[in-house]
Amino acid sequence: MSEDVSLLTEEAIADEIKALVEKWKDSEGNLIMICHGIQKHYGYVPRNVAKYVSEQINIPLARIYEILTFYNYFTMEPPAENNIAVCMGTACYLKGGGQLVEEIKRKLNLKGDQKYSADRKYKLEEVRCIGCCGLAPVITFNGDVSGRVVVDDISKFIEDKKD
């Protein structure tokens, strides 16, 4: 599992990130390249690293957040050991995506909008169309796509959690 770096101090921000900022700080289109580098390094873009970048390249933090939220690829939340995404695009939704979400939540004992299992081994996300509509409903498990998934298939991916 990626370490939770949400409390990183500026001193603890990786040398790799500092070098990345240094390399791109005066180039056009730099923000995207820096964000890619950060996500590659940490598995997500921690808020305090975004703040560090904002200060270093003199760009408002809000502009960085705009980019991070515009591109679906970026995330500001740390990944879990196992990452499950259920497609809730129209085709998948109509073919039972919602039932898959409910079953995963039941197995992981997730309440409301909770995304992480209590042991943080699993993270559940609902995503927009991932481009495999012919296989609806679709889920990805650690990036691997599975199509025509039915509720009973979910136990192949996760066991029931009691905590």
Residues of this chain that interact with ligand FES (CB under 6 A) are: 87, 89-92, 129-133, 136, 138
Minimum CB distance to ligand FES smaller for 14 or for 127? 127
Residue 32 structure tokens: 């995207």
User: Least distance in Å: CB of 72 to ligand FES?
Assistant: 13
Residue pair 80/121 in contact (Cβ under 8 Å)? The answer is: yes
CA–CA distance, 64 with 58 (Å, rounded to integer): 11
CB 82 within 8 A of CB 142: yes
- Residues 32 and 122: their CA atoms lie apart, in Å, by 28
Shortest Cβ 114–ligand FES spacing (Å): 23
Least Å distance, CB 34 to ligand FES, is 30
Between residues 23 and 148, which has the closer beta carbon with respect to ligand FES?
Answer: 148
Q: What is the nearest approach in angstroms of ligand FES to the Cβ of residue 143? A: 15
Complex with ligand FES: residue 59 or 145, whichever CB lies closer: 145
C-beta closer to ligand FES: residue 116 or 157 = 157
Distance CA 31, CA 70 (A): 13
- Radius of gyration over alpha carbons of the chain, in Å? 18
Residue of 148, 153, 161 lying closest to 106 (CA atoms): 161
Q: Which residue sits closest to ligand FES, CB atoms considered? A: 89
Residue closer to ligand FES, measured from CB, 24 or 103: 103
**Min dist. Cβ of residue 96 to ligand FES (A):** 11
Q: Where are the alpha helices (DSSP H) in 25-72?
A: 30-42, 47-57, 61-70
